[in-house]
Amino acid sequence: MNWADHLLLGLLGLLLAQGVVGAWMARRGKGRGFLVPGAEDSYSLTIGVQWGLTAILVLVWGLYRRPWSDLGLGWPGNWEFVLSSAVFLILVPPLMRLRTRLLGSAEKQDDLLDQTAHLQGVMPRTAEELQQFKVLCLTAGICEELLFRGFLLAYLGDFMPLGWAVGVAALLFGLSHAYQGWRGVLQTTLVAAAAGGLYLWIGSLWLVMAIHAWVDWNSGLLVYRASLARRARGSWR
């Protein structure tokens, strides 16, 4: 690691600031806050920041001629990748059927919205926001995995055991979602720890990226449809 990596770590603090500032703004009743997604314009801002940081990361990696596999971009030709991909593809259809069941009645829709109330500020609420949300999910899947799993694990791995690095990176990832409240921090930290473990097991980020983007999109679409149904019933709150 050198000065460029230390600089990248500092820039990565922007994503951490996204959560911290967003949480502070929400507590003061001033909206979602700087760099906090939730409306079409702030989706665009988040997308721009994440792709900008990722571009810098890729540039540094290329300039120093580091192996792309060290960033999680190696070719995933092992049996662990094949097995994990097969399990994911098998799970997708029942998960999609579960989404349909969760929207099967007004009571279920309301229960879902109540359970995800801490996410309401970051979910799409209009058709226009939903389209932008697609791009946000793809961006998060690629950029956040490269930054928080690929780069951050490589960086922290120079200073601590890899298991500890996974935990620290997961916690930082969770804190970057502090605008979702303590529940959002806990959930994203646990998900990040699982993603880190999967990455270490298969030795590649390609599948982790795909799962990340799909989970974000599926969650956003589920909440959006439930919200749409509630508004159609005239019981929006």
Q: How many Cα atoms are found within 13 Å in the side-chain-facing hemisphere of 13?
A: 7
* Lowest-confidence pick of 35-39, 79-83, 112-116, 173-177: 35-39
The one-letter amino acid at 199: Y
List alpha helices for the chain, DSSP H: 3-27, 40-63, 79-102, 106-115, 127-139, 152-156, 162-175, 181-202, 206-233
Average pLDDT of 118-144? 88
Per residue in 1-11, pLDDT tens?
Answer: 788 999 999 98
Tokens 């502070």 identify what position? 24
Q: How far apart are the first and last CA of the chain?
A: 50
Is 60 exceeded by the pLDDT of residue 236?
Answer: no
Total of domains in the chain: 1
19 pLDDT band (50/70/90 cuts)? Answer: low
Tokens 């950029």 identify what position? 143
Structural domain of residue 111, as residue ranges?
A: 3-233
Predicted pLDDT of residue 202: 95
22 pLDDT band (50/70/90 cuts)? Answer: low
Computed over every residue of the chain, the mean pLDDT equals: 86
Average pLDDT of 137-143? 96
Give the span between the Cα atoms of 75 and 202, in whole angstroms.
10
Give the span between the Cα atoms of 102 and 110, in whole angstroms.
10
Average pLDDT of 110-136? 84
Predicted pLDDT of residue 49: 87
| H or E stretch at 105 | none
Predicted pLDDT of residue 160: 93
Give the span between the Cα atoms of 210 and 213, in whole angstroms.
5
Angle at 89 between CA 99 and CA 83, to 5 degrees: 140
pLDDT cut 90: percent of the chain above it: 51
105 pLDDT band (50/70/90 cuts)? Answer: confident
> pTM of the entire structure?
0.88
Is 50 exceeded by the pLDDT of residue 36?
Answer: no
Predicted pLDDT of residue 54: 95
